[in-house]
A and B are shown apart, each in its own frame.
Chain A
Amino acid sequence: MSALAHIGGSPSGTSTTAAPEPTKRGGMAAYLLLLPGLIWLLVFFVAPLVQLATVSLQSQFPGYPGYYYRNVDFGNYGRAIVEYWPHFVRSLLFAGLATFFAFVLAYPLAYAMAFKAGKWRGVMMICVIAPFFTSFILRTIAWRQILSDEGPVVSVLNFLHVLPGGHITETWVAVVAGLTYNFLPFMVLPIYASLERADPKIIEAGGDLYANGFTTFRTVTLPMSMPGVLAGTLLTFIPAAGDYVNAELLGSDISTKMVGNGIESQFFKVLGGYPIAAALSFTLMAVILALVFLYVRRYGTEELL
């Protein structure tokens, strides 16, 4: 990072020494070392992406549902967006809400783990990671039980008369809760890592320089953990926006479906839906990339850009 910063910053005063030019053999070795990674990317990322892109531009044989021919038909994108724009809105909204709630839950937890847990730190870490040992689907189904009309949550809320609709499953609340729950560890771990790495002396320096506990948190601890917060929000938002399992298992048939559900049904349930599914996938990817780009530009630290 400091190397990047040096390039960006104005090196007034001290002279920055130019990096020695790599020798020819050194350069070759670097490329050779990169090769396995490049091949991996080519086979498992670029190739499927190209394949998906071509599918998204195919046209159907008229009269033969399920058969396509190679074409450059951008109409698929138009049809996908017209039909699925509410799903896009829901995807971004639910993922945004889940990211927000995950942050609100994760920050105090990560803070406690980093600064207050003492000997319990290891136990807390295991508790955060342990859910990964069971299947994502199983855990989501378990939430369906927990949030069901006969389950403890709804019973208590109904008893207190604070649940207008009378149930949680089949509503967006259940979907957002499921997303929040499933992606919480991805928020906790990077924030914890950034807090744990912070030198306690720096936080003490805040107190030494006339900042009380809360001001020190606001002006020192929180800004220092921003790289972790940024990583956590990205690791939560990106997969949550593309998720379909939570909406499928916890949401209703229509009104809480997300883009992922649209893609899934076009791929597996609609005859001849492949081009639309591919176009949806690409559109979702573009939207997420654009949002992430804007977000990182706005809040990103030098460490990430």
Chain B
Amino acid sequence: MAEFRAAKGDLVLENVTKSFTNFTAVDDLSMTVPRGAFFALLGPSGCGKTTTLRMVAGLEQPTSGRVLIGDTDLTGSRPYERPVNTVFQSYALFPHLTVRDNVAFGPKRRGAKDAQAQADATLALVQLTHLAGRKPTQLSGGQQQRVAVARALVNHPEVLLLDEPLGALDLKLRREMQVELKRIQTEVGLTFVHVTHDQEEAMTMADTVAVMNLGKIEQMGAPEVLYDLPRTKFVANFLGQSNLLSGHVDDTDGEHIIVSAAHHKLRLRKSRAAAGSGDIAFGVRPEKTRIHNTDPGASAAGNSIGPGTLLDVSFTGVATQYLVDVPDAGRWAVYEQNLDLDRIDSRPGDTVWISWDPGHAFGVRP
């Protein structure tokens, strides 16, 4: 019988590819998850998140590439040989076992004498002690979710994989469990790889977010960094919302490049541009922009666009959202916090201009 690999260290995926008969689900993916990190794998449905997790768990073998923990190559080993546990998307609890026996399952298989005691301690951690004697079918969705987490956690895996663990819960419970999972991760200090398609969930929970699309990682980093400086169009739109305008680099001006797009010359810091020449997409977040009913003039040259026609104004309480049609530049969104006492009084049909602080603009590959 093959034996358990007690590997320790960072989780490393090296050029991992997974092809099914006529489809490549994961395409030459490389990433490193630091030991002890709360890592989120974020991407739309079908982008290969589950397949990636399954390769780490050993439930699927990569077509090519390697999966390592620390220096130990786990490629080709069986799931039960890996120091990795999974919280399945559908929980996959054993229906014939009680909650306690579900949680004790892993420790028992590894020959722990105190499997039941370990299970009880972990059930206490997820606050389920009072339900230990029940069967999974007698639990609510949220309770089943906690059992699934406890059943994986009890083994103290080197890496804990969570496949959209909160996807089946309603919004309120989901917010509660986000806080709860974060607390547990801090308490146990294990590496968590959390898969989700909810960008808000990824950003609130994780230290590092990897944005995945079509089987590849588009960009990886701290949530604030990803949000502030997206490097691809996909990231700019999947993580929050962006006003994007395609153009090309026309000129340079010291620390800035000049992007020519839709009859405007827009300034962009070199450090915030994905390319120094050629085609580029200029972007700025809606909440980083302001709206004006007069031309902001020369002082805002390069950091404004207009005139445009106001299409829609919606007041949401904290903010007012404007939708502006700028000729040849498409529709722009502007979110303004309701701070000003003398806010402009505008209504659909008005002619308006949009401006921003140059430090907030970014340039992504077209």
Interfacial residues, chain A to chain B (CB-CB below 8 A) = 1-2, 5-6, 9-10, 12-14, 199, 201-202, 204-212, 215, 219-220, 223-224, 226, 301-302
Closest approach, in angstroms, between the C-beta of A237 and any C-beta of chain B?
23
**Complex CA distance for A208 and B152, rounded to whole angstroms:** 9
Which residues from chain A contact B96 at a C-beta distance below 8 Å?
223-224, 226, 301
Judge whether A207 and B109 touch: CB under 8 Å: no
**Complex CA distance for A5 and B86, rounded to whole angstroms:** 28
| Contact partner, B109, options A210, A301, A302, Cβ 8 Å | A210
Q: A5-B138, A202-B92, A202-B93 are in contact. Are A210 and B131 (CB under 8 A)?
A: no
Besides A5-B137, A9-B138, A10-B133, 13 more A-B contacts (Cβ < 8 Å) are A1-B137, A5-B135, A5-B138, A204-B92, A205-B86, A206-B94, A208-B59, A208-B80, A209-B106, A209-B151, A210-B4, A212-B80, A220-B94
Closest approach, in angstroms, between the C-beta of A283 and any C-beta of chain B?
36
Judge whether B137 and A208 touch: CB under 8 Å: no
Interfacial residues, chain B to chain A (CB-CB below 8 A) = 1, 4, 57-59, 78-80, 84-86, 88-90, 92-97, 105-106, 109-110, 130-131, 133-135, 137-138, 140, 151-152, 155
Residue of A nearest to B101 (CB): A219
Residue of A nearest to B137 (CB): A2
Judge whether B131 and A13 touch: CB under 8 Å: yes
Q: A13-B130, A202-B92, A204-B92 are in contact. Are A209 and B138 (CB under 8 A)?
A: no
Which residues from chain A contact B4 at a C-beta distance below 8 Å?
210
**Complex CA distance for A207 and B86, rounded to whole angstroms:** 10
Judge whether A201 and B138 touch: CB under 8 Å: no
| Contact partner, B86, options A10, A208, A215, Cβ 8 Å | A208
Q: Which of B84, B86, B133 has the most CB of A within 10 A?
A: B86
Which residues from chain A contact B97 at a C-beta distance below 8 Å?
223
Which residues from chain A contact B95 at a C-beta distance below 8 Å?
202, 224
Judge whether B79 and A207 touch: CB under 8 Å: yes
**Complex CA distance for A6 and B135, rounded to whole angstroms:** 10
Q: A13-B131, A199-B90, A219-B105 are in contact. Are A204 and B79 (CB under 8 A)?
A: yes
| Contact partner, A9, options B80, B85, B110, B134, Cβ 8 Å | B134
**Complex CA distance for A202 and B96, rounded to whole angstroms:** 11
Closest approach, in angstroms, between the C-beta of A180 and any C-beta of chain B?
28
Judge whether A2 and B86 touch: CB under 8 Å: no
Q: A13-B130, A211-B109, A212-B1 are in contact. Are A205 and B92 (CB under 8 A)?
A: yes
**A contact patch SS:** helix
Which residues from chain A contact B84 at a C-beta distance below 8 Å?
208
Q: Which of A13, A201, A209 has the most CB of B within 10 A?
A: A209
Closest approach, in angstroms, between the C-beta of A74 and any C-beta of chain B?
45
Closest approach, in angstroms, between the C-beta of B211 and any C-beta of chain A?
26
Residue of B nearest to A214 (CB): B1
Which residues from chain B contact A207 at a C-beta distance below 8 Å?
58-59, 78-80
**Complex CA distance for A205 and B96, rounded to whole angstroms:** 14
| Contact partner, B92, options A1, A201, A219, A223, Cβ 8 Å | A201
Which residues from chain A contact B1 at a C-beta distance below 8 Å?
212
Judge whether A205 and B88 touch: CB under 8 Å: yes
Judge whether B155 and A209 touch: CB under 8 Å: yes
Which residues from chain A contact B80 at a C-beta distance below 8 Å?
207-212
Closest approach, in angstroms, between the C-beta of B169 and any C-beta of chain A?
16
**Complex CA distance for A147 and B110, rounded to whole angstroms:** 50
Nearest 6 interchain pairs by C-beta: A210-B109, A201-B92, A207-B79, A209-B106, A205-B92, A223-B96
**Complex CA distance for A19 and B76, rounded to whole angstroms:** 52
Which residues from chain A contact B135 at a C-beta distance below 8 Å?
5, 9, 302
Judge whether B109 and A205 touch: CB under 8 Å: no
Judge whether B79 and A215 touch: CB under 8 Å: no
Q: Which of B78, B88, B92 has the most CB of A within 10 A?
A: B92
**Complex CA distance for A224 and B58, rounded to whole angstroms:** 23
Closest approach, in angstroms, between the C-beta of A10 and any C-beta of chain B?
8
A-B contact pairs, 17 of them (CB 8 A): A5-B137, A10-B133, A199-B92, A201-B92, A202-B94, A205-B86, A207-B59, A208-B57, A208-B80, A209-B80, A209-B105, A210-B80, A211-B109, A223-B97, A224-B95, A224-B96, A302-B135
Which residues from chain B contact A302 at a C-beta distance below 8 Å?
135
Which residues from chain A contact B89 at a C-beta distance below 8 Å?
201
Closest approach, in angstroms, between the C-beta of A7 and any C-beta of chain B?
11
Closest approach, in angstroms, between the C-beta of A172 and any C-beta of chain B?
37
Which residues from chain A contact B58 at a C-beta distance below 8 Å?
207-208
Closest approach, in angstroms, between the C-beta of A18 and any C-beta of chain B?
17
Closest approach, in angstroms, between the C-beta of B89 and any C-beta of chain A?
8
Residue of B nearest to A5 (CB): B138
Which residues from chain B contact A202 at a C-beta distance below 8 Å?
92-95
Residue of A nearest to B154 (CB): A209
**Complex CA distance for A10 and B98, rounded to whole angstroms:** 13
**Complex CA distance for A302 and B106, rounded to whole angstroms:** 25
Judge whether B137 and A212 touch: CB under 8 Å: no
Which residues from chain A contact B140 at a C-beta distance below 8 Å?
14
Closest approach, in angstroms, between the C-beta of B53 and any C-beta of chain A?
11
Which residues from chain B contact A211 at a C-beta distance below 8 Å?
80, 105, 109
Which residues from chain B contact A2 at a C-beta distance below 8 Å?
137-138
**Complex CA distance for A145 and B348, rounded to whole angstroms:** 92
Judge whether A210 and B92 touch: CB under 8 Å: no
**Complex CA distance for A302 and B98, rounded to whole angstroms:** 13
Which residues from chain A contact B92 at a C-beta distance below 8 Å?
199, 201-202, 204-205
**Complex CA distance for A199 and B93, rounded to whole angstroms:** 10
Closest approach, in angstroms, between the C-beta of A234 and any C-beta of chain B?
19
**Complex CA distance for A226 and B94, rounded to whole angstroms:** 13
Judge whether B59 and A215 touch: CB under 8 Å: no
| Contact partner, A210, options B59, B88, B106, Cβ 8 Å | B106
Q: A1-B137, A5-B137, A202-B92 are in contact. Are A208 and B79 (CB under 8 A)?
A: yes
Q: Which of B97, B105, B110, B140 has the most CB of A within 10 A?
A: B105
